[in-house]
Homo-oligomer: A and B are copies of this chain.
Amino acid sequence: MQRSDSALPMTLQRVNQAAQGDFVATLGGVVEHSPWVAEQVAELRPFDSVWSLHAAMFDRIRRATREQQLALIRLHPQLAGREASEGTLTDASNAEQARLGLLSLSRPDHQRLQQLNDAYSDRFGFPFITAVRLHKGIASIFDELERRLGHGADAELAENVRQIGEVLRGRLARLFGTPLGWLSTHVLDSVAGAPAAGMAFAISVRDGSTWERVGQGVTNDQGRTDRPVLVDAMMTRNVYQLEFQVGAYFRDRGVPLAALPFLDQVPVRFGIDDPDLHYHVPLLCTPWTYSTYRGS
């Protein structure tokens, strides 16, 4: 199997079919110096999406003991720290820190970052980790550092674990050439004041002047879906349309409707401009009204 620095993206099929050793060789590096994460999920193959692979790997990290988590955190380099100066960053870390200019900071910014990093390490006994991909510049990293310096050690341990999950998400997406984002929905029944469970829906993508159906599902007890509505290669820069079976949902629950209901199949059309982001598109409805919005 090829490594992530090869020209062609890795495919899910190849990692699903790889020998255990090749699997670990391919994925061992996506969590900083910690091939054990890949080793522990090898037995869970096949994965049906990069998103599922991420979920499994991150689950292992979250479920690790406090000591394992601390050890993992301590394997991460400081932002623009010693490893960067000495050129001993992993390729992945190097690329991530370079993107934001962290490897070529102005002297005052470099000093300030050093001071904040040190204050953080002194206070908590482990380094500050953040997914640089989610930052637009050094300013928001300063903000985050200062804010997190005010937290407790337990909260920061948990926050660092979350950040490692985000870093992992970015590295897997780059390795497999898939987008980072996903689409979720959430349907609320405003007659009952409760999640709308069991509402069928379909999702289509615009294809010229027509629509191609790319998925369908039914809401679960929380009015959500067990898996993302769109993920991986289905998540493209395009216009999508969700169609919710609002009429059938209320009819099944005995809510009186007109013979030809006012609302029956409710389309919600929206553009995904950046497939690397999470899009949450909820629906609040009665048989007579609905609202939708870009949620979070």
Give A residues with C-beta under 8 Å from B.
Answer: 44, 56, 59, 62-66, 69, 154, 158, 186, 188, 190-195, 222-223, 237-239, 241, 258-267, 269-274, 284, 286-296
A269 CB contacts on chain B under 8 angstroms? 263-267
Contacts A44-B154, A272-B260 given; does A193 touch B286 at CB 8 Å = yes
Chain B residue nearest in CB terms to A241? B267
Which of B63, B264, B270 is close to A63, meaning CB atoms less than 8 Å apart?
A: B63
A264 CB contacts on chain B under 8 angstroms? 239, 269, 271
Chain B residue nearest in CB terms to A152? B44
Cβ of B284 and Cβ of A293 under 8 Å apart? yes
**Copy count, this protein chain:** 4
Cβ of A262 and Cβ of B270 under 8 Å apart? yes
Which of B158, B193, B260 is close to A239, meaning CB atoms less than 8 Å apart?
A: B260
Task: Identify the 9 closest CB pairs spanning chains A and B, nearest first.
Answer: A193-B288, A291-B291, A289-B293, A258-B273, A260-B271, A260-B273, A193-B294, A190-B289, A288-B294
Q: CA–CA, A222 to B204, complex, Å?
A: 29
Q: CA–CA, A141 to B180, complex, Å?
A: 37
Q: Looking at the assembled complex, report how far the CB atom of A285 sits from the nearest CB atom of chain B, in whole angstroms.
A: 9
A191 CB contacts on chain B under 8 angstroms? 191, 286, 288
What are some 6 contacts across the A-B interface (CB < 8 A)?
A44-B154, A188-B293, A190-B190, A191-B286, A191-B288, A258-B273
A289 CB contacts on chain B under 8 angstroms? 188, 190, 193, 284, 291-294
Contacts A260-B239, A271-B258 given; does A296 touch B222 at CB 8 Å = yes
Q: CA–CA, A1 to B57, complex, Å?
A: 42
Cβ of A296 and Cβ of B195 under 8 Å apart? yes
Q: Looking at the assembled complex, report how far the CB atom of A144 sits from the nearest CB atom of chain B, in whole angstroms.
A: 9
Q: Looking at the assembled complex, report how far the CB atom of A282 sits from the nearest CB atom of chain B, in whole angstroms.
A: 9
Chain B residue nearest in CB terms to A220? B147
Q: Looking at the assembled complex, report how far the CB atom of A9 sits from the nearest CB atom of chain B, in whole angstroms.
A: 24
Cβ of B258 and Cβ of A262 under 8 Å apart? no
Chain B residue nearest in CB terms to A237? B260
Q: Looking at the assembled complex, report how far the CB atom of A267 sits from the nearest CB atom of chain B, in whole angstroms.
A: 5
Q: CA–CA, A197 to B267, complex, Å?
A: 24
A273 CB contacts on chain B under 8 angstroms? 258-262
Chain B residue nearest in CB terms to A243? B269
Cβ of B194 and Cβ of A293 under 8 Å apart? no
Most chain B CB inside 10 Å of its own CB: which residue of A239, A241, A293: A293
Which of B63, B258, B261 is close to A66, meaning CB atoms less than 8 Å apart?
A: B63
Chain B residue nearest in CB terms to A281? B262
A267 CB contacts on chain B under 8 angstroms? 241, 267, 269
